[in-house]
Structure 1
Amino acid sequence: MKLIAIDLDGTLLSEHTYITEENVQAIRTAQSQGHIVMICSGRAPEDIQEILKKYQLSCPLAGSNGTVVQAEGKLLGSVSMNRDNIMQIAKKLDDVRAPYRIYTNQGIFVPEDWSERVNTDLQGDTIKVDGLSEELFKRITEQPQQSDLIKYFRDYHELFGREDLKVQKFFILTLNHQKKSELTTYLSNISGAAATSSGPMNIEVMDQDGNKGNALKVMADYYGISMDDTVAMGDSFNDIPMLQAAGLSIAMGNADPAVKQLCKAVTLSNTENGVSYALEQFILNQ
């Protein structure tokens, strides 16, 4: 029995953010053979569950970059950021007027002036991403709509004054080179926090113990699976901890070159059913 950890964006999800039938069937086949397939994503757990429900898939998961681990209706682990780091990061992001989201145990909180912050960033040296469609760029930058999961806030002091609120990560949209460089340097020097990225236009900050690698270990321990029998598939820098921890690391064909270099194998891209191909090559036909 293997424990297979699969990233979502850039990995299981296509460029148009859906799961192909080929990938769905490959996951179901792996499960039918007794393997455990977990989803390990930067997305919130609630968001992951909605995606899985759409395709009638049932998988344990690690959300918010591995800071929340769930299986069989149980919370297996949760890593929250300390208050001093939270306040320091929020102040810095407000000072530079950066658009950001706060992932918490009570949903995702977004500054109500998100659109104004985005427009300010677009006035500078904007980051260009090859192959990024206008539709996807709009989806990335537009003001998130309020819902049961997403809520607006005005003052982070009031938000973090709630003792029952636990913060798992900050997601920072970075649209220009200078601001991303400055923020990356600043955030990387905060003691007890860890900064990473899931794409060229963002920075993500968690507690130093909150990552996909530790989430994989928590899930392996729960199911009694040796780390030698774990597999991880991903495409970006926030996947590196789980790729390094897994017995078999597989990079997507569209992965960052640095990610490919540290993996034991490379599969096809997320536009070519790379997850399905990898499962067939390394798991189902073994």
Structure 2
Amino acid sequence: MKLIAIDLDGTLLSSRMTISKQNIEAIKLLQRKGHIVMICSGRAPEDIKEIVEKYDLDCPIAGSNGSVVYVNQKCIHSTSMNLVSLEKTYNLLEELNFPFKIYTNDGIYIPKTWQKRVLKLISIDENVLDQFSDEQIKLMTEQPKESVIEKEIDSRTDLSRLTVQKFFILTFHEQTKKHLIQQLDSVEKIAITTSGPFNVEVMDINGNKYRGLKAVAEYYNIPLENTVAIGDNFNDLPMLEKAGTSIAMANGDPEIKKRCHYHTLTNDKDGVAFAIEKFILT
């Protein structure tokens, strides 16, 4: 029995934010052969569950970069930021006026001024919009509507009542991103990573995808040497480095590809299905 951990964005999901029939069939074939497939993503658990259900997949999930893990609808692992690190990170982002989301046990919290912050950041160099589709631009620049999952946050929100798994911060520009990371380096007991060229992500120092992979491996008594990780970016690196076999997407960051055992096709060419057939089933 093997455990295969698969990232979502840039990996299982195509650039159109869909999962191909070939990828779904390959995953279900693995499951029929007795292997365990898990989704390990930077997305919130609620978001992952929605995607998994949409494509009729039944598998463990690790959300917020492995900070919270569910098997059979039961939480088997959770890592949250301590209150001091949480407040320092929040206050810094407020001071610098960044657009950010906080992934918590009570849904996703977003500043009431999200739209203004995004537009201000984009105005530094509007050419950055050339990197996104019209749909992506609309999703980023619209003020999210409050719902059961997404809620607005302001200075009156009591952070101490929340269990925070992750901050997701839009940066858009390389220099802006570097400056933010330098500022965040002053906050103790946090891990800083990125899932793409336009964002920064902050978790507890022990919050990463390796922890998510390890939790599911221990749950099923699968040795780490019998695990496989498939990903494309730096937030995938902890699980790629620790898994028995690591597979990078062709569309992945060049540095990530250097550190993996194998490379597969892009996320728009059924790279996950190709990896399963070529490197796992054989």
TM bucket normalised to smaller: over 0.9
Question: In the TM superposition, what are the counterparts of 1:82-101 in structure 2 within 5 Å?
Answer: 82-101=82-101
Gaps of 5+ in 1: none
Match of 1:271 in 2: 268
User: Shift in Å at residue 161 of structure 1?
Assistant: 4.1
- In structure 2, how many angstroms separate the alpha carbons of the residues matched to 1:129 and 1:9? 19
SS, match of residue 195 in structure 1: strand
Match of 1:216 in 2: 213
User: Shift in Å at residue 131 of structure 1?
Assistant: 5.1
User: Shift in Å at residue 283 of structure 1?
Assistant: 1.7
Match of 2:256 in 1: 259
Match of 1:59 in 2: 59
1:27-46 alpha-carbon deviations (Å, 9 max, x no partner): 00000000000000011111
- In structure 2, how many angstroms separate the alpha carbons of the residues matched to 1:69 and 1:158? 26
- In structure 1, how many angstroms separate the alpha carbons of the residues matched to 2:247 and 2:98? 33
One-letter code aligned to 1:82: N
User: Shift in Å at residue 119 of structure 1?
Assistant: 1.4
1:169-225 alpha-carbon deviations (Å, 9 max, x no partner): 100011233321211112134221011000111100000100001111111011000
SS, match of residue 191 in structure 2: strand
Question: In the TM superposition, what are the counterparts of 1:121-160 in structure 2 within 5 Å?
Answer: 121-125=121-125, 128=128, 132-155=132-155, 157-160=156-159
SS, match of residue 254 in structure 1: coil
One-letter code aligned to 2:230: M
Gaps of 5+ in 2: none
1:214-273 alpha-carbon deviations (Å, 9 max, x no partner): 111111011000100000000010000000010000000100000000000000000000
**TM-score, length of structure 1 as denominator length:** 0.95
- In structure 1, how many angstroms separate the alpha carbons of the residues matched to 2:126 and 2:89? 23
1:94-144 alpha-carbon deviations (Å, 9 max, x no partner): 111100000001100000110011111122145737753232233234322
- In structure 2, how many angstroms separate the alpha carbons of the residues matched to 1:10 and 1:129? 19
Residue-pair matches, total: 282
Aligned counterpart for 2:178 among listed residues 163, 176, 181: 181
SS, match of residue 157 in structure 2: helix
Matched, 1:170 2:167: yes
Match of 2:71 in 1: 71
Match of 1:12 in 2: 12
- In structure 2, how many angstroms separate the alpha carbons of the residues matched to 1:234 and 1:207? 21
CA contact (8 A) 1:198 1:204 kept: yes
CA contact (8 A) 2:66 2:207 kept: yes
**TM-score, length of structure 2 as denominator length:** 0.96
One-letter code aligned to 2:212: A
- In structure 2, how many angstroms separate the alpha carbons of the residues matched to 1:177 and 1:138? 22
Match of 1:203 in 2: 200
> 4+ residue stretches of structure 1 with deviation over 4 A?
none
Aligned counterpart for 2:231 among listed residues 199, 221, 234: 234
Q: Percent identity?
A: 50
Match of 1:80 in 2: 80
- In structure 1, how many angstroms separate the alpha carbons of the residues matched to 2:253 and 2:36? 26
One-letter code aligned to 1:89: T
